[in-house]
Amino acid sequence: MQVKRFVAANMRLALKMVREEIGPDAVILSNKRVAGGVELLTAVDETVDPTTDETVGATASTSEGASLNPFEQAAIASAQAAQQQQTPSVLDLELDRMQAEAQQRAQALSKILAEKKRLELEQAHNAVATPSLDNTEPPLAADVVSFSSMMAAATNDGSMVSTPESDIQSGSVQSNAPTIDNSAAKNNDTAKQQFVAERDDELASMRFELQSMRELLERQLSSMAWGQFTQQHPQQAGLWKRLKRMGIGATIAESLLASSYLANGSVERESAEIWQSIMSDLCERVPVVGEDLLVNGGVFAFVGPTGAGKTTTIGKLAARYVLKNGADDLALVTTDTMRIAAHEQLRTFGRILNVPVKIVDKNNSLERVLHSLRHKALVLVDTAGLNRQDQRLKPQLRDLNEVGSRLRTIMVIPTTSQVEVIKSAYHTYKTDSLSGCVLTKLDESACLGEALTLTIEKQLPIAYITDGQGVPEDIAIADGPKLVRSAIDLAKHATTNDESMAEEMATLS
């Protein structure tokens, strides 16, 4: 019996390596996750009948597969089913065809390069072999250098320049040699540039075709894995689709499903009961502050992208504080002097609430302004929404970090943004003193799970939620179960398909 070890980035690639090197008679002894990805130990006995060997391999895979999660079990079962097929699948035929075409194009490109090299050598040989001078008498020593230059120029041009003997003796050839060399060098450079351009075009075309083949294979393998998973675990597949419609990310969805099924072992339950268990688990995972952050006072800076609702949120919180504690201990600060009349909205809130509004500019640093307001119990700081390419973003974040622990940062996240935009905003505006976030525009959002996924993955507590333009009524302290219920309600209008689910499963590899 021959035992081999395979290590790959994911289970699909590892199984492919086993199939290519050992064949369908391989027996998977064990599998586990390692630092480099997935490790498989396989064995094959060449003397054993293939039918018996396949049975042993299936038994070993089944026993070892009990320690895997449902997604890895689906990938292993899909690969084993493909190994047992006696005739090649459509995917195998398509892969062979595309590989053959790529090999043909590589051979054609190699022939073109070889032919071009052969022509250049043939032209050089003909140029040297063609007599162009009367060599009855040896040339003068002074003319040897110019003669060699002429030969080189003739070789590059593919033709020989005929020069009378009288010109050689008079030295005129030596004086004209630099001109011939310059012209030949220019022609040679042009030919080289054209050759390099043609070669780059061929290579770019090959890269494009290889990339297209890779994307096609990934899509087909993902579809096969999702189809196999749906057939073997229809209940889990349906629950995963519901999580996908809510906007819950693949990693969180996998963890929720695995936790629910592992907690109940092999007990058969209805989908509704399992779904209730998953939602309870999700409610516990959503991080929330659970209390009013401003009740004890302090200095709070609100950061986030343009249009996220920072200024409006500050106005709502300031109005709530004034209604409870009065306006004497509150002050507003803005660092947004980059847009025209950017601070006018905050000044309007200040006039209505009868609280002072300070502006941070070149003459008044943030540290200086905060020092002048040290007698205030609560200071709310509004910042400018700048994208990551803006050179003024780093100085603004640096000023916030330099204040130290006296200042706490609150990130304002609009739930109407796409998941990639939300992730980018988190990495762009994250500071050393980030204490929580505010989810805004819930009344305009079509999917709430994407924002919840970010807060769960980054363990960013949610302090407040806003769901309208009303001041101060459209703001509330965040509550986990209420957020999950809102995400479920929004998911009723969302749809998903098998293609998107296959892409979702591929992200777990």
- Asked whether residue 487 is domain-assigned, the answer is no
CB 38 within 8 A of CB 11: yes
Asked if residue 319 and residue 194 are part of one domain, the reply reads no
Scan for tokens 């130290």, then name that residue: 404
42-56, 389-403, 429-443: the lowest-pLDDT one:
42-56
* Predicted pLDDT of residue 461: 94
Q: Show the domain range for 79.
A: 2-86
User: What are 57-75's pLDDT values in tens digits?
Assistant: 444 444 444 455 555 555 5
Residue at which a domain ends, from 188, 216, 244: 216
205-209, 266-270, 413-417: the lowest-pLDDT one:
266-270
Asked if residue 71 and residue 101 are part of one domain, the reply reads no
Measured from the Cβ of residue 129, the count of other Cβ atoms closer than 10 Å reads: 8
To the nearest 10°, the Cα dihedral for 38, 39, 43, 49? -10
Asked if residue 446 and residue 306 are part of one domain, the reply reads yes
- Asked whether residue 429 is domain-assigned, the answer is yes
211/52: higher pLDDT: 211
Distance, CA of 247 to CA of 18 (rounded, Å): 36
Binned at pLDDT 50, 70 and 90, residue 302 comes out as very high
* Predicted pLDDT of residue 77: 61
Asked if residue 508 and residue 385 are part of one domain, the reply reads no
Any idea what the CATH number is for the domain that residue 436 is in? 3.40.50.300
Asked if residue 212 and residue 184 are part of one domain, the reply reads yes
- Asked whether residue 207 is domain-assigned, the answer is yes
- Mean pLDDT calculated for residue range 197-207: 75
Asked if residue 211 and residue 67 are part of one domain, the reply reads no
* Highest mean pLDDT of the ranges 84-88, 220-224, 230-234: 230-234
- Asked whether residue 486 is domain-assigned, the answer is no
Asked if the bond preceding 234 is cis, omega within 30° of 0, the reply is no
Asked if residue 506 and residue 430 are part of one domain, the reply reads no
Asked if the model's pLDDT at residue 360 lies above 80, the reply is yes
- Asked whether residue 137 is domain-assigned, the answer is no
Binned at pLDDT 50, 70 and 90, residue 167 comes out as very low
Strands 378-382 and 330-334: parallel
Provide the domain count of the chain.
4
Which tokens go with 261? Answer: 């099924």
* Predicted pLDDT of residue 213: 73
- Asked whether residue 164 is domain-assigned, the answer is yes
148/14: higher pLDDT: 14
